[in-house]
Amino acid sequence: MLALAGRPLGISCEFLAEEPTLTCEDLGKLTLFSKDRETSVIEFAERVDVITFESENIDPLLLRGVPSHKIAPALKALATARDRLNEKEICKKLGIQTAPYFSVSTPSELIDGINEVGFPCILKTRTMGYDGKGQWRLNSFEDAHAASQALDWLSMRYILEGVVPFQREVSIIGVRDRNGMTETYRLTENKHKAGILRKSQVRIEDEQQGPAEEIFAKIAGELAYVGVLAIELFESDSKLIANEIAPRVHNSGHWTIEGATTSQFENHLRAICGMPLGSCASRGASTMLNIIGNPLDQDYVLGLRGAHLHDYRKSPRPGRKLGHVTVLDIDTEDYASTIESIEQRIIDV
Ligand code: AMP
């Protein structure tokens, strides 16, 4: 989606990936990591003007041989946002509320953590977790004991978080350019199931827009961030509590392709390439539904007025995001019923 957004701006993309992927093969040259991963990155960097990433599950050490002006966002942002403990510490420093947390590296620290944050709590791997993977919800010492037996205490470090009794989950996505100018999109309300994002909705008005923008400005400024940044938040008793910082374009911002003046993908490219930012204004209310596990009948979706289909050309697998559909209220007179009928057709696994 980044590469597609680059085409009209004359930006061409190359990709460095772990394995062959159909998603980008006809959008630019695809290079696979060689055994010497660091050298693959250095050789790649020599051919391109700027390197960015679309996942934070990347070891910053891999990029240490690349001149820093060629990497955006900077490695500091990657190092902060790929580690849940660093994310929490930066929020604490900036006076942004988070769930109560405790760093856990040994079974006895797990018990100390439970005594500190109490039940119910969630044990998470500090790095490499996504879509609810690497998380264990603990309601009792029996749960903690069972989780403890299954954990990789030698090579993984964990964080224990108190469960936040939230009323809704939202995300604030914005972009910061090389001169420190920022723009933010409308706040997105997100629905998850089994830790995976199912639905993102944008309203025209949201009373948490201002407070969320303040949180965005603090974090983006602290990280001297360049590019698109997403911050996932819980709303609990009208207060915003930071959950996760994603140093990249974000699934809950996919609605911006049709629903905003400039998509998150285009704005990310504009920021990292030193171009002026585009407006983040939204065109109205919009809803994005993820297609997970099972493909959705293409003709059915295209037959619905105003439904925008994005097929990632990924092979079906339980829990895998295969595509998404966005519906804008300005495109159809049947906004609510169109969303409902797509939701009913999505058989997710
Ligand atoms: P995460 O990978 O941290 O985004 O977690 C995935 C989902 O699990 C979140 O979107 C929430 O629905 C839920 N979750 C994670 N952490 C907490 C928490 N501390 N309190 C309540 N729910 C949580």
Atom of ligand 1 nearest to the CA of 84: 3
Query: pLDDT digits over 268-279, tens only?
Result: 999 999 999 999
Burial class (CB in 10 A: 0-12, 13-18, 19+), 324: buried
Is 348 a residue whose pLDDT tops 70?
Answer: no
The two tokens of residue 158 are 């964990």
Query: pLDDT digits over 311-333, tens only?
Result: 999 999 999 999 999 999 999 99
What is the rounded average pLDDT for all residues in the chain?
Answer: 95
Assess whether the C-beta atom of 232 lies below 6 angstroms from ligand 1.
yes
Indicate the pTM of the whole model.
0.96
Burial class (CB in 10 A: 0-12, 13-18, 19+), 110: buried
Comparing 110 with 130, which gets the higher pLDDT? 110
CA distance 130 to 145: 23
Which residue out of 83, 102, 121, 122 has the highest number of ligand 1 atoms within 8 Å of its CB and is therefore the one to mutate?
Answer: 122
Percent of the chain with pLDDT over 90: 89
Assess whether the C-beta atom of 81 lies below 6 angstroms from ligand 1.
no
Q: What are residue 202's DSSP bridge partners?
A: 188, 286
Which residue out of 198, 232, 243 has the highest number of ligand 1 atoms within 8 Å of its CB and is therefore the one to mutate?
Answer: 243
- 241 C-alpha to ligand 1 centroid (Å): 11
CA distance 154 to 140: 24
**Among protein residues, the one whose CA lies closest to atom 1 of ligand 1:** 132
- 97 C-alpha to ligand 1 centroid (Å): 15
Atom of ligand 1 nearest to the CA of 197: 10
The pLDDT score that the predictor gives to residue 349 is 58
Helices (DSSP H) in the chain: which residue ranges? 2-6, 37-47, 75-81, 84-93, 107-117, 141-150, 209-222, 256-259, 264-272, 298-302, 335-345
What does each C-alpha distance from 257 to 70, 250, 251, 266, 328 come to in angstroms? 26, 12, 11, 9, 11
Assess whether the C-beta atom of 159 lies below 6 angstroms from ligand 1.
no
Q: What are residue 232's DSSP bridge partners?
A: 171, 244
Would strands 286-292 and 196-202 be described as parallel, antiparallel, or unpaired?
antiparallel
